[in-house]
Structure 1
């Protein structure tokens, strides 16, 4: 990819900006819900602390928006185009974050936050498709890894901002990635695949030339044939995708494995722990460093772990990253569970022992970044059959978001009236199950073509 090519650079950077906003939304609850629980009216824009039930509703907004998006918005990129959908999501997100800065009651906040989450959820549907369709074949892996890093950069962005801003300023600062994307919209190119779907072959070929300006004519022709082949394959297999996914042994095994490597991410507790991160990091009250600074250090650690995964995943393979990550997750969750169990029983906990939540939250997110946050997306695209990938991905996303919704509704209430340790043990059991399933069933896909992976799935029992 030649960065002198404004069109491909702008289109690629637009995708990264959406991932940054995705990271912002994932981390949004932690600093904002801390403010909403405060009695200080200078900190809390709502004027009074929210109840446990309202806390449950606030944490469930993002999974609800994801479910709504998967059911009602997934077809918009095929109707209006990838570029138009991307710009509309940016406009919605920009408007909602501006409005967020002026809310003064909990229900207005829930409505505006739902709109901001809806924009990110829609963006996360269209962005992977858009990037895969505008990029050259040899750049897809690098592009995917770069965008995944964007998610963690978004989390770092919000945790750094919250150290020195109030709620209104924080809301306004979160529009910056959307604002940049809107300004870049003049340079964004429509997906050639969508143009071919609309029967605009001449425009599709011209777009290919703009996106591959530094390539030779032969390379452009080859890339064009590849994208046309993708389109023909998708059109030919649309009606048979459900039959391929659920009616063939290879399809069912692929669905089972992707439910393990992606569906089980809903039962690691990552979204819940990130939403209430301050509660874990404030546990050692004797530390002179604030929870906000520790959170920044944690996100930097996640970025370093993500970079490590990007550099070495093709050397060591996907399987070892999944096994190592799920092992670290299970160990950290059970240790956190025992810590909060003894705390619930009013045991005397020395100051040094109070470091356990901080240490093992770090271990938890290192394990999660190695496995479910990074490698699992590569496995998802490699294991699912090409002709059933969109339906399989949508099905897994729906199940995952629904499970996260149930947990976010229950966590504030259960942790308040019964104890945090119930959830920690619950998550720990599922991560052990994930480790065992990966150990037994997950094949290594490093260096294998899609046809070779399908052969492995057809032959395994």
Structure 2
């Protein structure tokens, strides 16, 4: 496939092949986005008297369906880390789509409780594959000049998946929605078989000439060009450097090195803030929340209001990349966390007034508050912690830290989604939103006092700040922070 003359299909040095493969690559993430959003329109439908199941599904089953995804995703992160390293990026990504095919197919096959929960559990493989494999694949196939743009497609595609399934769930039947969701990973499986493995992985397997051909195809250049050979040599150098360490030594240094451990602790804390702000819970149970809020004559249905959230989330993810470069990481993260906290306070107060029986009043308020919260999440709270994480750790630690952080996030979300609906029934939505608000406001203070600004700064400078040192011209400081 890669032996043809690329100039016949694209101009020399064009980035079109990288863009095409990146778009195909994020289809599993899009499919995962539809799986996340599917719970919002279909959860209430499954519990209703008109349920597609034989009997209305119990709310506890819905809670398990929401949480089991991330319960499985917690260990699956490490499974995909093993598959990526030993069997390749391409096979791992296709396994991700295969798991999504099984998920949608099982839901079409049966609406029994075992089938619904098992299908949702299989999505745990999808979330792990999507967020372990896709960023790595994009990093290894793209040039520096477009890596940031292509990387932003990951979050964008998930948010687009959320929006699409909100719309489908409002206007199509239960089965029709499932068939469309099934078609997406099937298309990916069929088309992605023609795509190449990454040059870095091919070099790791000793396939130098195949790596050269792949690199030339991705860059729309001839294999004999000096630019291709130069980039290939850089990849070989990076491969040699990566062989100097292993996971065990990385874990040991992560814990024993003071500056690295502080960076790791900060990363886990802002991950906690990101996952406990309540936004993912809102996306899973959007229709349920809006059903509670739609008693004041609001003209949109609960599902249509959830679709509005999807649009807002998509807009937020589109603006995230430009905001993070203009404002810096720390100001954007702190500001979005603060605004989310205030919006959730307002939302909790609105539901509290409702619980007192004082009438619906201002039915636009919960919609506006949730839209503001979701926008802040997409524009800052979701993407910025990942950016900070990659900028605070060297190549030696990045893979290990990413696996631990994603696993930690999955565990948090699993517990959160499992208890949300029972808690909402037992204590009311207002207490839950106030809890989310409190976490956001406390996290804002932590971000202001502890989290460093990482934009346009080296790891040495970042570690000097979090270590409580001033890195001026001191050789002692320089030696301390460059031990990595």
- Report how far residue 95 of structure 1 moved: 3.3
Q: Classify 1:450/1:14 alpha carbon distance in 2 versus 1 (closer, same or farther; 3 Å).
A: farther
User: What are the equivalent positions in structure 2 for 1:169-248 lying under 5 Å apart?
Assistant: 169-214=176-221, 217-238=225-246, 239-248=248-257
User: What are the equivalent positions in structure 2 for 1:315-330 lying under 5 Å apart?
Assistant: 315-330=326-341
Which of 262, 267, 290 is equivalent to 1:258? 267
CA distance in 1, matches of 2:229, 2:469: 38
- Structure 2: 5+ residue stretches without partners: 1-9, 471-484
Question: How high is the TM-score relative to the length of structure 2?
Answer: 0.88
- Report how far residue 141 of structure 1 moved: 1.0
- Residues 52-94 of structure 1, C-alpha deviations (whole Å, 9 max, x = no match): 3222211112111211312433211111111112122222322
Task: Give the structure 1 partner of residue 457 of structure 2.
Answer: 448
Which of 275, 282, 289 is equivalent to 1:273? 282
User: What are the equivalent positions in structure 2 for 1:365-444 lying under 5 Å apart?
Assistant: 365-444=374-453
CA RMSD of aligned residues (A): 2.3
CA distance in 1, matches of 2:256, 2:230: 34
- Residues 250-300 of structure 1, C-alpha deviations (whole Å, 9 max, x = no match): 211211221233232221112211111012223132022222222222221
2:109 counterpart SS class:
coil
Is the contact between residue 354 and residue 360 of structure 2 (CA under 8 Å) also seen in structure 1? no
Q: Classify 1:419/1:460 alpha carbon distance in 2 versus 1 (closer, same or farther; 3 Å).
A: farther
- Residues 348-396 of structure 1, C-alpha deviations (whole Å, 9 max, x = no match): 12432x3322121111101211222222221121112321111111112
CA distance in 2, matches of 1:208, 1:274: 39
Equivalent pairs, count: 456
1:287 counterpart SS class:
coil
User: What are the equivalent positions in structure 2 for 1:33-44 lying under 5 Å apart?
Assistant: 33-40=43-50, 44=51
CA distance in 1, matches of 2:49, 2:253: 56
CA distance in 2, matches of 1:422, 1:321: 27
Task: Give the structure 2 partner of residue 72 of structure 1.
Answer: 79
Is the contact between residue 69 and residue 122 of structure 2 (CA under 8 Å) also seen in structure 1? no
Task: Give the structure 2 partner of residue 289 of structure 1.
Answer: 300
More off after superposition, 115-124 vs 128-137: 115-124
- Report how far residue 6 of structure 1 moved: 6.8
More off after superposition, 325-334 vs 3-12: 3-12
- Structure 1: 5+ residue stretches without partners: none
CA distance in 1, matches of 2:131, 2:323: 26
1:74 counterpart SS class:
helix
Is the contact between residue 17 and residue 218 of structure 2 (CA under 8 Å) also seen in structure 1? yes
Structure 1 residue 102 and structure 2 residue 112: aligned?
no
CA distance in 1, matches of 2:196, 2:168: 32
Q: Classify 1:394/1:20 alpha carbon distance in 2 versus 1 (closer, same or farther; 3 Å).
A: same
CA distance in 1, matches of 2:199, 2:231: 11
Question: How high is the TM-score relative to the length of structure 1?
Answer: 0.92
Q: Classify 1:32/1:450 alpha carbon distance in 2 versus 1 (closer, same or farther; 3 Å).
A: same
User: What are the equivalent positions in structure 2 for 1:1-80 lying under 5 Å apart?
Assistant: 7-40=17-50, 44-80=51-87
Q: Classify 1:263/1:386 alpha carbon distance in 2 versus 1 (closer, same or farther; 3 Å).
A: farther
CA distance in 1, matches of 2:308, 2:418: 29
